[in-house]
Structure 1
Amino acid sequence: MTSYILGVDVGTTSVKAVLLETTSRTVEESHTLPTKSDINDDSSLKAKEQDTTRIIHTLNRCMDHLPRDKLQRVRSIGLSGQMHGVLFWKANSGCDWSNRDSFSAKDTSQLITWQDGRCSSNFLSSLPKPDSHVSVATGFGCATILWCTKHRPEFLEDFTVAGTIHDYVVSMLCGLDKCVMTPQNAASWGFFNTSTNQWNSDILKGAGFPVHLLPQCVSSGSLAGQTCRDWHGIPAHTPVGAALGDFQCSVYSCMSARTDAVLNISTSAQLTFAMPADFKPPGAPQPASSISYFPYFDASYLAVAASLNGGNVLATFVGMLTAWTEELGVELSDSCLYEKLIHCSLSQESTDLRVSPTILGERHHPLCLAQVTNISPSNLSLGHVTRALCRGVLDNLTSMMPVECLREAGVRRIVGSGSALARNKVLRQEVEKVFPLPVEFGQSVDSAVGVAMFLCDRSFLNQ
C-alpha cells in the first residue's frame, strides 16, 4: 500500500505541508498558507514578534487541506522552520488538544523571531565570548534570552521550556515535557559548540542565563518521539523526527552534487556550498567574516553567506509604494503593485542605477544600511529602480561570498531556489548575469520537501 512522509515547514511568513510518496520520493500533495502573524509593537520598532496562536492555527488549516485518506497512511513526520528565533512555553501545558484531532497553542509566549533587533551592538559586546565558531547576533535565541534576563526577568518566570517554533510543534505532537533540539537549530541560537554538540552551559550560567531553559541536544536525524494522539487523521504513535533547520532542509532538497552551490532567496537570502568532509570550523567566532559555517548532516558543514536582506527588501519596497499611492488617493493591493513593478522592469533590461539594499544591515556589519547611488534623470523610472533593487540583492550576496570563492571551492553549477526567485523573473535574470556559471532554477524546491526527503532516507522510518 502507498505510504507517505509528511514534511512541514513553519516559515517566517507561511506554513507549508507536503506529502512525499515514499517509493518514488515525489510530492503528491502540497499546500501553503500565509501566517499573517507579525505583531506590530509601537513601543519598540526593533522588536520582531509573531503571534504563536495564529501560526498554529495556520498549521492546522494547512493540514486540513491535505487528503485525509493519505494522511492516514503517513509513516513519519518531519518539521523544519525558521531558525534563530525563540518561543517559551510551560511543560505539560503548552497546548490544548480539545479540538478533535488537532491542537492549539496554550501557555506560550509570542515567537521572538530571527529578525528581532532588540539586542544592540553595545549589549552584544557586553556578553561573554562563546566557546563556539558561531558569532552571536541579535535575533539569536541565547542572546534574546540573555536580553530578557536583564530587561524582563519577570517574563521568563512564567515559562519552563524554550525552543524554536518548529521545536515547539514537535514537542506538542509527541507530548514531551521538554524540548529536544538538533545542532542545526542549536547553532542558530549561539553559545553552542558544534564540535562537541554541547551548550556553553558554564559560560551562560556565569552570565546569569537560566540554563534550565536550554533544550536537550540530539543529533540531526534523530527520532524525537511519536505522536501522542491522532493528528488530522495521522494515527497516534507515528514517528516524529527532531526538528531541522529550514535552510539545511532547503539545501538538502536541491543539492544533488557537492559541486553545486545553492542560492536561496525567500524572506532573507543565502548562498552556500558544501565544505569537504574533513572540514572543521574555526575554534572561535569570526564576527567580521561574511561567511558562516552551518552544521549540515552527518557531521558535515555548509559554507554560507547568510544575508538578512532578500525578498523582505522587495516586500518593503512594495509596501512603501503602496503607502505612497494611498496617500495620493489611489488604492492598489501589494500583489497587484508587485506584478506591475515586475512588468515595468522586464521592459527595462539594464540600469546604471545602483542600490545597496541592506535596510536591515548584516550580521557581520550591522551598521551598514541601504544606499541609492548613481542617480540621474534618466534612471528614475519604476523599471530602473526595481531592476536595480533586484541586482542589489545579488550584488550584496556576492560581496559576502565572491564568485572567485565559489570557483576555488570547485563549484560548477548554481541551483536557485526560494519563493522570491520563483515569483520574480527579473531577479532570475539578474542571477544569470551575476554568476558566470550554469544556473538551474528549482521553483518547487523548499524546506518542507527537503525535510520529507531527509526522513525518507533515514532508517528509523522502518522502526
Structure 2
Amino acid sequence: MPDVLLGADLGTSGLKLVALDAAGTVVAQAERGYEYGRPAPGRAEIDVRTWCAALDGAVAAVGPALAGTRVRSLGISGQMHGAVLVDGDGAALRPALLWPDQRGAPELARWRELPAGDRAALGNPLVAGMTGPLLAWLCRHEPDALRRAAAVLLPKDALRATLLPGSDPAVTDRSDASATLLWDVVADHWSPAAVAAAGIDPALLPVVRPSEEVVGSARLPVGEVPVVVGAADAPLALLAAGAAGPAQVNLGTGAQLLRPGGRPRPSADPLVHAYADTTGGWYAMAALQNGGSAWEWARGVLGLSWAEFVTAAAAARPAPEGCSSGPS
C-alpha cells in the first residue's frame, strides 16, 4: 500500500489540498474557494465553519484518487495574523478576525506606549490586523467573548482544532506566534509586556510546538490520519522553495517579499517584519495587503471570469517605454 502525505493551505480566499507520494509527486489535488465577510468598512471576518466545509469538500474530492493508499499525515499551512477565540473543545465562539481587518488600529497606541526596551524587542512594524491589536479590540468591545474563551488561536490552528475534538486546541508553532505582535523576537518567546498591552490573560495563549510534531489523529474519509502542528504560509513557501536565492516573492490575496536568513534585532521602528521560519531560523518580510485582492476587484469591475481575466492580461501589449500605461 503506497504512502501519501496530505497538505492543506488555508488561504484568505480559498483552501487548497494536495496529496503527495514519497517522491514528492502530486497524486491528487483540489481547491475550494470562499469569501470572507466585510460586515462594515475596515472589517474582515469569517465563520470557521466555512473553512471546515472547504476542507471537507477538498478531502472528498481527492478521496477517489487515494483509494488503496495509506495517508501518513496531514499538515496545514495558513494565512497569518488574525485571531480566533475558541472554547475548551476548540469550537469558535465568534467569527474569526482576519489580517485585513483594521478595527485594531486605534489599539496600536498601547504598543507605542510600551517601555522602549519592550517595544524594541518585538522587532516588527505595528500593523492593525495582527493578533495582538485585534485581541485588544476584543478586550475593549467584546469582553464577554474573551471571558468565555479558553484560547486564542491563529487561523490554521483553529481549523486543525476542529479536526481533533477532545484534544487541547491551544497549540501553535513558532512561525505563527512570531507574527502576532505578542512575541519577543529577541528572546524568542511570548512578550509579557505586549500580552499585557493586549489586555488578555496570558493563559489564553497557545503552547508553541515544532511544526512537524503530531498533535492528534483525525478521522477523515481517507482514513485515520495523524495531524501535525503545521506552520504559517509564508515560511512554508520559503521551505518549499528551498530558501534559495536572496529573496522570494509570494502572491496571494496579499503580496510579500521575503528574505531568508539573518537574526532579528531590537528595533523600535523597523522597516520590515522579522518572523520565525520553520527550521529554527528567521526571515525578513515586506508586505502589501492588496496583491491578489486588487486583481479580484479589477476582475469583478470588468465582469470577467478568472480564465478570461488571465487571458486578457497575457494578451495585453505593454505600454511604450517611458509612456504611461493609463490616464494619470
Measure, in 1, the Cα distance between the counterparts of 2:253 and 2:320: 25
Partner residue of 1:281 out of 264, 269, 272: 264
Relative to structure 1, the CA distance from residue 309 to residue 203 in structure 2 (aligned partners, 3 Å threshold; closer, same or farther) is closer
Q: What amino acid is the match of 1:73?
A: R
Structure 1 residue 113: Cα displacement: 0.5
- What SS does the corresponding residue of 1:272 show, helix, strand or coil? strand
Deviations 1:282-331 (A, max 9, x none): 123434x1x22221133211222222231212222333x24xxxxxxxxx
Residues 104-119 of structure 1 mapped to structure 2, 5 A cutoff: 107-119=92-104
Relative to structure 1, the CA distance from residue 344 to residue 296 in structure 2 (aligned partners, 3 Å threshold; closer, same or farther) is same
Task: Tell me the equivalent position of 1:145.
Answer: 135
Q: What amino acid is the match of 1:308?
A: Q
Q: Is the 8 A contact 1:9 1:80 kept in 2?
A: yes
Q: What amino acid is the match of 1:26?
A: T
- What SS does the corresponding residue of 1:116 show, helix, strand or coil? coil
Residues 250-289 of structure 1 mapped to structure 2, 5 A cutoff: 250-255=237-242, 257=244, 259-275=245-261, 279-287=262-270, 289=271
Structure 1 residue 54: Cα displacement: 1.5
Residues 230-245 of structure 1 mapped to structure 2, 5 A cutoff: 230-235=219-224, 238-245=225-232
Measure, in 2, the Cα distance between the counterparts of 1:341 and 1:67: 35
Relative to structure 1, the CA distance from residue 212 to residue 151 in structure 2 (aligned partners, 3 Å threshold; closer, same or farther) is same
Structure 1 residue 145: Cα displacement: 0.5
Q: What amino acid is the match of 1:231?
A: L
- What SS does the corresponding residue of 2:266 show, helix, strand or coil? coil
Q: What amino acid is the match of 1:47?
A: R
Measure, in 2, the Cα distance between the counterparts of 1:203 and 1:164: 17
Residues 93-108 of structure 1 mapped to structure 2, 5 A cutoff: 94=91, 107-108=92-93
Deviations 1:348-406 (A, max 9, x none): 5657227xxxxxxxxxxxxxxxxxxxxxxxx44xxxx9xxxxxxxxxxxxxxxxxxxxx
Task: Tell me the equivalent position of 1:335.
Answer: 306
Q: What amino acid is the match of 2:124?
A: V
- What SS does the corresponding residue of 2:5 show, helix, strand or coil? strand
Measure, in 2, the Cα distance between the counterparts of 1:282 and 1:108: 36
Structure 1 residue 260: Cα displacement: 4.8
> Which structure 1 segments of 5+ residues have no match?
95-106, 323-331, 355-378, 386-463
Q: What amino acid is the match of 1:67?
A: G
- What SS does the corresponding residue of 2:20 show, helix, strand or coil? strand
Structure 1 residue 203: Cα displacement: 4.4
Structure 1 residue 347: Cα displacement: 6.3
Residues 287-302 of structure 1 mapped to structure 2, 5 A cutoff: 287=270, 289=271, 291-302=272-283
Equivalences, count: 320
Relative to structure 1, the CA distance from residue 349 to residue 53 in structure 2 (aligned partners, 3 Å threshold; closer, same or farther) is farther
Q: Is the 8 A contact 1:192 1:199 kept in 2?
A: yes
Deviations 1:164-213 (A, max 9, x none): 12101222333323311111101111120234332113542365323222
Relative to structure 1, the CA distance from residue 207 to residue 142 in structure 2 (aligned partners, 3 Å threshold; closer, same or farther) is closer
Task: Tell me the equivalent position of 1:60.
Answer: 56
Measure, in 2, the Cα distance between the counterparts of 1:292 and 1:185: 13
Relative to structure 1, the CA distance from residue 119 to residue 202 in structure 2 (aligned partners, 3 Å threshold; closer, same or farther) is closer
- What SS does the corresponding residue of 2:66 show, helix, strand or coil? helix
Question: 190-199 or 7-16, which moves further after superposition?
Answer: 190-199
Measure, in 2, the Cα distance between the counterparts of 1:280 and 1:260: 15
Structure 1 residue 86: Cα displacement: 1.1
Q: TM-score, normalised by structure 1?
A: 0.63
Q: What amino acid is the match of 2:110?
A: S
Residues 11-26 of structure 1 mapped to structure 2, 5 A cutoff: 11-22=11-22, 24-26=23-25
- What SS does the corresponding residue of 2:316 show, helix, strand or coil? helix
Q: Is the 8 A contact 1:124 1:143 kept in 2?
A: yes
Measure, in 2, the Cα distance between the counterparts of 1:185 and 1:75: 24
Measure, in 2, the Cα distance between the counterparts of 1:302 and 1:243: 18
Measure, in 2, the Cα distance between the counterparts of 1:192 and 1:256: 23
Relative to structure 1, the CA distance from residue 262 to residue 343 in structure 2 (aligned partners, 3 Å threshold; closer, same or farther) is closer
Q: Is the 8 A contact 2:139 2:198 kept in 1?
A: no
Task: Tell me the equivalent position of 2:324.
Answer: 353
Q: What amino acid is the match of 1:86?
A: A
% identical aligned pairs:
20
Q: Are 2:30 and 1:49 equivalent residues in the alignment?
A: no
Structure 1 residue 267: Cα displacement: 1.2
Structure 1 residue 27: Cα displacement: 1.6
Q: Are 2:178 and 1:192 equivalent residues in the alignment?
A: no
Measure, in 2, the Cα distance between the counterparts of 1:267 and 1:119: 20
**Cα RMSD over matched residues?**
2.5
Q: Is the 8 A contact 1:134 1:187 kept in 2?
A: no
Partner residue of 1:204 out of 189, 195, 219: 195
Measure, in 1, the Cα distance between the counterparts of 2:192 and 2:243: 37
Task: Tell me the equivalent position of 1:3.
Answer: 3
Q: What amino acid is the match of 1:119?
A: G
- What SS does the corresponding residue of 2:89 show, helix, strand or coil? coil
Residues 70-81 of structure 1 mapped to structure 2, 5 A cutoff: 70=66, 73-81=70-78
Measure, in 1, the Cα distance between the counterparts of 2:206 and 2:220: 24
- What SS does the corresponding residue of 1:65 show, helix, strand or coil? helix
Measure, in 2, the Cα distance between the counterparts of 1:267 and 1:208: 30
Relative to structure 1, the CA distance from residue 274 to residue 77 in structure 2 (aligned partners, 3 Å threshold; closer, same or farther) is same
Relative to structure 1, the CA distance from residue 242 to residue 339 in structure 2 (aligned partners, 3 Å threshold; closer, same or farther) is closer
